[in-house]
Chain A
Amino acid sequence: MLAADVALNQYLILSAFLFCTGVYGVLARRNGVLVLLSVELMLNAVNINLVAFSAFTRNISGQVFALFVITIAAAEVGVGLAIVLLIYRNLRSPDLDRVDQLKG
């Protein structure tokens, strides 16, 4: 249980900060592994939001959603890492800028 004296806004600000960091990572990093890590940051920012709202509204369903998100994220990282591994094997580099074979 979170302390009542800590305001909801503080959680939300933390969460927004983490999310923005994630977005920046996804858009700016060139390494595929770091992009995946940034995605995890965004997901956890959402998780913090869910848990915070759940606590303040005394509704358990937000925490259940957070558990689901963690589970799905694990699966997602599994698939994502496999893709990055294959990119690395084919291109001898984890650099996402070089993956532009679908250019129109």
Chain B
Amino acid sequence: MLRNAWLIPLLPAISFVLILLVGKRLPRKGAEVGVGMVGASFALSCVALVQWIQRVDDHEGSGGGGHAVRGLAKALVPAQEAAEHGLPGVAAVTRSFTWWQNGGVKFDVGIQIDGLAVMMMFVVTFVSFMVHVYSTSYMEGDRRFTHFYALLSLFTASMLLLVVANNTLELLVGWELVGLCSFVLIGHWWEEKPNSDAAVKAFLTTRTGDVGFMIGIIIIFFAAGTFDINGINEYALSDGANHTLLVVGASCLLLGIIGKSGQFPLHTWLPDAMAGPTPVSALIHAATMVVAGVYFGARLFPVFYEGFSIDAGGINAMALIGGITIVIGAVLAFVQRDIKKVLAYSTISQIGYMVMALGVGAWVAAVFHLFTHAFFKALLFLGAGSVSHSGSHHSFDMKNDMGGLRKHMPITFWTFMIGSLALAGIFPLAGFWSKDEILATAGHADFEFFLVVGLLGAFMTAAYMTRCVYLTFFGEYRGHGQPHESPPAITVPLIALAGLSVVAGLINAAPLGIEKFTEWFEPGVAFPVLEHADFNYTLATVSVLTALIGIGIAAYLWFQEEELGAFKGLTQRNTLAHAGYAFLENKYYLDALYENVIVASIKGAIANVSYWVNQHVIDGIVNALGRGATTVGRATYDALDQRAVDGAYNGIAEATGDTGGLLRYVQSGRVQRYALTLFAAVGALSLALWLVY
């Protein structure tokens, strides 16, 4: 299966085509094709996962031992020593063929299946499968149901293509397809202006980052001389690598990650992307769009590692971007009324954790957080969708249409609680293990600043999720309807995701002696030797306590006091608080900055220049061409057509007429004249013959 992993992205792609072609004629409008194909793809991913794990285990058993050294005591083994062992880990399974060749440069298409890809395929297909199942009920009766399923499949296929790609060009194709699909799906209900605006905004904002991404790919190609991911990674780690090119290339690539993964300062598209249907939000946030950036960062990690000198500690661009994003995302989550926007800002903040983790060299922690986050964030989004579907009449406004849903929707409530606690990082749920690993590595590897940022983020995460849960499920019901539990197609995926949100973290639970995640998924070749921090009990306790304090404060404020508690009316009474609230309400004025300052200024200048060019250059050329054509046409008419062509035909006609006029005298019609001519001719000939002989 590892060698045939190309089947995994192919199945959803086939599903896309099938649904488009015959979806509308099927009894379930194409949903059965999507669910079936993605389900099959998920099954294949599971097979690939199992085979990969066997491969790693066999490798260890046969004495390869790379991971044995990195086992329990690996943090104790200094980096140099591990490097001296020189034990190659399990190599990726690659397979490719030449797409086209041009002047000695070969462009391949292929797959590179290693631990990271296998893990990612599992996450993507699992979440996508859940979303496909969920949507059968959630999107029921939608006017573009078939269309929705087709694109959902294409979205999954594109992300899987990005995951299996073995070179940066192929990855770029997947990357752009993901962007395109998200554009179409966010604008699924495009009839309403805000939705299509959100889609355009998402597309253009990520595109801004993609420009950097493409430039980065090109720079890295000229540095390493190859598009092959493995080759690039080996080049980045080799002694002969050009450090300047790596710095510039890594910075450009980071711009792409910032755009795609919703990092500061290009995060503004992500909350607006909530205009799309909820299952799409779940897919974008948990499995496809935004994690693509983190996945890319993990895939080409050596480039960033060398480019940003991550081993040196201190502060670097990647970690800084991640750190800033954690805080600004979490703060904005407090002032949202829309439950999905709370989750969107939460995603921004959590992806910030992953980018920061990559920035501090915590590769395993970043990927591990991606893994666990996928489950509980998909769970939270689908839970929010369930609430709006059955509890609040398709509204996402927590303050006006929700509240007190705990009793009406027990399954949704409990699964949402699990998701929230996992997100807040409460022991022993998934989020605890991955977040703790990030913090531990940050603290271990001379990145104390980011340890503090991470703890601050954990505190705020716990607090805003408490607010969100309170507003949605506790207090009095404020909506106008009959809230009830959602149908099984919605609750079953919730339960499945909740189960994984509980146990997924245990795969890398250091105190229990399980570090399977590191063992299975950390690349063994073309990878920098990273220090793995020990599990730090103090830190773990501190982080859980921080989260609990966050929950406690938030709960006190909202539970003890009526409605909005002590904060009620604060923004009206206190000018400073009011200003701060307004600042947050307007999302730091970043949108205003982008639209009114940056876009407006550029727009005017571009428009003026374009107008000038249009008036003077293009019009000039067009007019000159027109005049030239007219002149040539007139000359042709006069000289060629009138004189040469017409003259020739008229001349021929006149000559024919004249000849005819002359010849008509011969044609007298009198027999005897003809006979005379005949005899005269015979006489003349005879005379000639007689003279000759």
Contact = CB atoms under 8 A, between A and B. Distances in A.
Interface of A: 23, 26-27, 35, 96-97, 99-104
Interface in B626-684: 663-672, 675-676, 679
A32 to B, nearest CB: 9
Nearest to A103: B669
Tier of interface size on chain B: 10 to 19
Contacts of A96: 670-672
Contacts of A97: 670, 672
A23 B676 CA distance: 9
B668 A104 contact: yes
A103 B670 CA distance: 7
Given A104-B663, A104-B664, A99 B670 contact: yes
Contacts of B672: 26-27, 35, 96-97
Contacts of A103: 667-670
B675 A102 contact: no
Contact of B669 (A23, A26, A27, A104): A104
A100 B668 contact: yes
Q: Which 3 A-B pairs have the closest CB atoms?
A: A104-B667, A103-B669, A100-B669
A103 B668 CA distance: 5
Contacts of A104: 663-669
Nearest to A100: B669
Contacts of B663: 104
Contacts of B667: 102-104
A104 B679 CA distance: 21
Contacts of A101: 669
A27 B668 contact: no
A103 B676 CA distance: 16
A26 B666 contact: no
Given A96-B672, A103-B668, A104-B663, 14 more contacts: A27-B672, A27-B679, A35-B672, A96-B671, A97-B670, A97-B672, A99-B669, A99-B670, A100-B668, A100-B670, A101-B669, A103-B667, A103-B670, A104-B668
A35 B671 CA distance: 11
24 contacts: A23-B679, A26-B672, A27-B672, A27-B679, A96-B670, A96-B671, A97-B670, A97-B672, A99-B669, A99-B670, A99-B671, A100-B668, A100-B669, A100-B670, A101-B669, A102-B667, A102-B669, A103-B667, A103-B669, A104-B663, A104-B665, A104-B667, A104-B668, A104-B669
B527 to A, nearest CB: 106
Contacts of A99: 669-671
A27 B671 contact: no
B661 to A, nearest CB: 10
B675 A27 contact: yes
Contacts of B668: 100, 103-104
Nearest to B680: A27
A104 B667 CA distance: 5
Contacts of A102: 667, 669
A96 B665 CA distance: 18
Given A104-B663, A104-B664, A26 B675 contact: yes
Interface in B319-353: none
B676 A27 contact: yes
A26 B672 CA distance: 7
A59 B279 CA distance: 123
Contacts of B676: 27
Nearest to A102: B669
Contacts of A26: 672, 675
Nearest to B676: A27
Contacts of B665: 104
Nearest to A104: B667
A101 B671 CA distance: 11
B32 to A, nearest CB: 91
Nearest to B665: A104
Interface string B269-293: 0000000000000000000000000
Contacts of B669: 99-104
A82 to B, nearest CB: 16
A28 B676 CA distance: 10
A100 B679 CA distance: 20
Nearest to B664: A104
A23 B678 CA distance: 11
A26 B667 CA distance: 19
B657 to A, nearest CB: 14
Nearest to B668: A103
Contacts of A35: 672
A26 B679 CA distance: 10
Nearest to B671: A96
Contacts of B671: 96, 99
Interface string B340-372: 000000000000000000000000000000000
A96 B670 CA distance: 8
A53 to B, nearest CB: 18
Nearest to B663: A104
A8 to B, nearest CB: 19
B658 to A, nearest CB: 15
Contacts of A27: 672, 675-676, 679
Nearest to A28: B672
A102 B665 CA distance: 12
B592 to A, nearest CB: 99
B151 to A, nearest CB: 85
A15 to B, nearest CB: 16
A103 B669 CA distance: 4
B660 to A, nearest CB: 9
Contacts of B664: 104
B16 to A, nearest CB: 83
B669 to A, nearest CB: 3
A101 B669 CA distance: 6
Nearest to A101: B669
Nearest to B670: A100
A31 to B, nearest CB: 11
B2 to A, nearest CB: 99
Nearest to B660: A104
Nearest to A98: B670
Interface in B227-248: none
Nearest to A32: B671
